[in-house]
Structure 1
Amino acid sequence: MNLSGQGRMRMLVSVRTVEEALLAAKGGADFIDLKEPRAGALGGLPTGLLRDIVQSLRAVGSTLPISATIGDLPIEHLPAVMAQVHAVAACGVDIVKVGITRTAEPATACRALDALAASGHAIVPVFIADQGVEPQVLAHAAALGPALAGVMVDTQDKRAGSLFDVMTDDALRQLVGVLRAAGRPVGLAGALRLRHLPALAALAPDFAGFRSAVCVGDRGAALDAGCLHALRQALSAH
């Protein structure tokens, strides 16, 4: 699974229902991301619903890459994490996303990354940036190379603001640089809205993840076609 933007920033849209997934696919998303936004940064959907969404997208001829989260499971509980990785992958998604928080000891997080890289699935570790990103763990993820499909950064507490409120531009630039130097596709997310597009364009990630920007009001509201269209147009302009 190639997540490289190949010179343009691609749009990942998070959805939680069949209807939202079809709307996102029709509205110009480059990736469809399956999650429950009301259950945390990586809130997971039931496996039955994951299968339904995948089958519905494929039934209408969509070939867009589909990712899904495993839920907000502590990476320290590696057996439970790996069991959920396999269960989510079995639903037919192309990419499985797994959260990496700084609360885990670096050695523990690195061992988890090794296990994820050896899982046989296309894995994207998602570094939760609220408490910063541990450089040692990020470097380890970068060093795993193509064993990981890519690396993403997101935020947990959306009420605290966007990714740009949690991390400085310099820190984000350095993070993207580390991953780019290792040839790893990189994605950025975290309560991103239209006003953040110039800053995103300056960082030039391979893809950016959106939920807040495509809902009217709270990110827990339903996906909105007008917001989706506005975001697609704005991204194309950048």
Structure 2
Amino acid sequence: MTALLASVRSTEEALDAAAAGADLIDLKEPLEGALGGVRTDDLWRIAHALRARYPVKPISATIGDLPPDALDTIAARVAEVGDAGVDFVKVGVMPGPHARACLTHLAGLDATVLPVLLSDDGIDASLVDHAATLGFEGIVFDTAGKMGRTLFDCIDGATLARYIATIRASGAMACIAGSLGWPQLDQIRTLAPDVAGFRTALCENGRTSRLDPRRVAQWADALHHAAPSAAA
């Protein structure tokens, strides 16, 4: 089964998503970019409300969009977000000359970091291999651009399948996101990642609009149950 990660920006959205069947609640502010960070006091407030009603439901949060060579700033934000009461801290890593060092740095921080490999221009296999050696609990493939191109437009399914196998062999969760929607459902089911993350597909009118719990429920059902067979 692929778990549903729902990205939310408020307490109301978080509680709605959890009640509608989202397996993981991800806190981010879509107005601030692909991995825009929620204000720290709001992070604490949302996490506290979720814990009160759903004490074992995992919560992740992003630190904001930062360049991979800003290691001190990244470390400070990871500590700040981690102290807000979330289970996982998501950090975007853009491919390039600083990506490998950034991943190594993230692995040494005192928080449960999920590196998000931003894959708009593809991801080199050696970077995935390196990430898989560092002991992360999960590794995410996502896109920085949210203008219509999906993750599957950036990395073909066969390559993603190889990367997911590498990550799982290391004992980590393999997670995907990146403007995914109903046209990609069959590809998601074929790939069968541990987690699939969504924002736009769960909202009423684009990623900056209100999350719709009915859409969350539809996606939870689609991911938790296999497609009906042709003979059914």
Q: Same fold (TM over 0.5)?
A: yes
Q: Secondary structure at the match of 1:119?
A: coil
- What's the counterpart of residue 22 of structure 2? 29
Tell me which residue corresponds to 1:190: 178
**Residue identity opposite 1:134 in structure 2:** D
Query: Which of 94, 114, 124 pairs up with 1:134?
Result: 124
Query: 2:147 is paired with a residue of what secondary structure?
Result: helix
Counterpart selection for 1:167 from 155, 158, 168:
155
Residues 1:100 and 2:93 aligned together: yes
Give the alignment's Cα RMSD to 1 decimal: 1.3
Q: What percent identity do the matched residue pairs reach?
A: 42
In structure 1, stretches of 5+ residues that fail to align are: 1-7
User: In 2, distance between residues paired with 1:67 and 1:33?
Assistant: 5
In structure 2, runs of 5+ residues without a counterpart are: 227-232
Counterpart position of 1:40 = 33
Counterpart amino acid of 1:21?
A: A
The aligned amino acid for 1:138 is V
Q: How far apart are the structure 2 equivalents of 1:233 and 1:160? A: 24
Measured after TM superposition, the shift of residue 60 of structure 1 is 2.0
Deviation at 1:182, TM superposition (A): 2.2
Given candidates 87, 100, 114, the residue that maps to 1:124 is 114
Amino acid at match of 2:18: A
* 1:97-149 per-position Cα deviation (integer Å, ceiling 9, x unaligned): 000111x30xx32222222111121110000010111222211110113xx12
Residue in structure 2 matched with residue 5 of structure 1 by the alignment: none
Further displaced range: 13-22 or 38-47: 38-47
TM value normalised by structure 1: 0.91
- 178-187 or 80-89, which moves further after superposition? 178-187
What secondary structure is seen at the aligned counterpart in 2 of 1:158? coil
Q: Are 1:25 and 1:62, in contact at CA under 8 Å, matched by a contact in 2?
A: no
Query: Which residue number in structure 2 is paired with residue 87 of structure 1?
Result: 80
2:49 alignment partner AA: S
Provide the C-alpha distance between the structure 1 equivalents of 2:133 and 2:46, rounded to a whole number of angstroms. Answer: 33
C-alpha contact (below 8 Å) 1:194/1:234 kept by paired residues: no
Per-residue deviation, 1:213: 1.4
Report the residue type matching 2:185 in the other structure: L
Map of 1:181-220 to 2, 5 A cutoff? 181-220=169-208
Counterpart CA distance in 2 for 1:223 and 1:78 is 33
Match of 2:104 among 114, 136, 139: 114
Cα distance in structure 1, aligned partners of 2:209 and 2:35:
16
Q: Choose 56-65 or 16-25, whichever is displaced more.
A: 56-65
The match for 1:9 is 2
List 4+ stretches of structure 1 deviating above 3 A. Answer: none
- TM-score of the two chains, using structure 2 as the length reference: 0.93
> What letter matches 1:214 in structure 2?
L
SS in 2 for 1:187: strand
User: In 1, distance between residues paired with 2:86 and 2:21?
Assistant: 19
Kept in 1, the 8 Å contact 2:22–2:217? The answer is: no
